[in-house]
Amino acid sequence: MRINPFSAVSTVCLVLAGAAGPTAPEAVTHSAILPPIAHAPITVHRDDDGRVRRRVRNQLESSNWSGNVVANFETSYTYAAAEAIWKVPTATYTQPPAVCHAVHFGPRSSTFCRASHPQWEYSSSWVGVGGFCEDANCASVDDSLIQLGTEQDASSNGETQYYAWIEVLPASSVELSPETYPVNPGDTITASLACTANCTPGATQTWALTMTSTRGWTYSTSLNYASSLLSAEWIEEAPSSFSGVLPLANYGTATFQPSADGNPALDLTSANEIVLVDPYGETSDPSQENGDQFNTCWGNNPNNIAACSAP
């Protein structure tokens, strides 16, 4: 249970402007001091020449996403469905590294380091359609994003919280009732989203969202949304709040088994791998694929991101 610091009690609601309302999931009333969480489109890092920053295996570097994405600007295909299977990772709190900056005083320069002490750290595992770059250098980012996943958060005093959620931008994230849809570390989640009617890019489409858990529950809903259909992605995320990207919880390793609608069949060898380096210096690195699976691995040193082993 959580409290939105901007009001004493708040209830999350799902509202889609300009479209018929979806079947609303159960909302959660917050009563702990934590910010409302959003799952945003990708934010990329850039080199001094303006190009998207790349890592050793040509992975994009982002402040909020880690994982794999297949994109229309490379494949010329639209993506009207996607699915993922993952095991809910265990979240623990790990102190972020000190963030260092060079400061110049005329001909001299000094380096100053600032230690960060957030009270909570966050991680989100999800599958979605949209929200990725629209071109190779990410000159524009798709602002449509429909997604569903699980949240794994940890505090400096040892508290943790786990829950399932759906989000269709620009509407707020909707948390599923933990009493009806409990989420715990080690649960295996299967999450899928599929356009079922009027599946033209930019049109008001009908979508079916489904999530099941080895804990024995199934959640499903149908809603209307205008997606670009420009990408499908399988992501471990440092979610955001009003203040920006939040610190990434130590989730250890997450394993994703992805699939997507589109021709040819999903081939992760041609997908965009994304390395996460959040503003606090925490990292998440995707492994190379092993058959139809890949891992993402948490880290705490942006200057030395250890390679993530494949599952």
Residue 215 burial (CB count, 10 A): 14
| Residue 9 domain-assigned (yes or no) | no
The 10s digit of each residue's pLDDT in 120-149 is 999 999 999 999 999 999 999 999 999 999
* 48 falls within a domain: no
Model pLDDT, residue 289: 87
Residue type (1 letter), 168:
V
Which is higher by pLDDT, 301 or 20? 301
| pLDDT reported for residue 259 | 84
Running DSSP on this structure, what letter comes out for residue 44? B
Does residue 109 belong to any structural domain of this protein?
yes
What is the Cα–Cα distance from 145 to 132, expressed in whole angstroms? 8
Is residue 75 in a domain?
yes
pLDDT of residue 158: 92
| DSSP state string for 107-144 | TEEEEEEE----SEEEEEEEEEEE-SBSSTT-SSB---
Write the pLDDT tens digit of every residue in 209-239. 999 999 999 999 999 999 999 999 999 999 9
Position 259 in a domain: yes
Q: What angle do CA 40, 55, 138 make, to 5 degrees?
A: 45
Percent of the chain with pLDDT over 90: 69
Q: Is residue 94 part of a domain?
A: yes
If one counts the domains in the chain, the total is 1
Distance separating alpha carbons of residues 264 and 296, to the nearest angstrom: 25
- Residues above pLDDT 70, as percent of the chain: 79
The answer to whether residue 1 sits within a structural domain is no
3-state secondary structure of 291: coil
Q: What is the pLDDT of residue 56?
A: 85
User: Across residues 104-116, what is the average pLDDT?
Assistant: 61
Q: Which residues contact 139 (CB under 8 A, 6 or more apart)?
A: none
Residue 70 has pLDDT above 60, yes or no: yes
CATH of the domain at 102: 2.60.120.700
Label residue 118 by pLDDT band (50, 70, 90).
confident
- What pTM was computed for the model? 0.85
CA distance 176 to 186: 18
pLDDT at 96: 84
Domain that holds residue 146: 60-299
Q: Which residues of 242-256 are buried (b: 16+ CB within 10 A; e: fewer)?
A: eeebbbbbbbbbbbb
Q: Tell me if 199 is assigned to some domain.
A: yes
Rounded Cα gap, residues 298 and 308, in angstroms: 9
* pLDDT value of position 11: 26
Q: Is pLDDT at 253 greater than 80 in this prediction?
A: yes
244: tokens are: 């920006």
Encode 267-292: b = buried (16+ Cβ within 10 Å), e = exposed: ebeebbbbbbbbbbbbbbbbbebeee
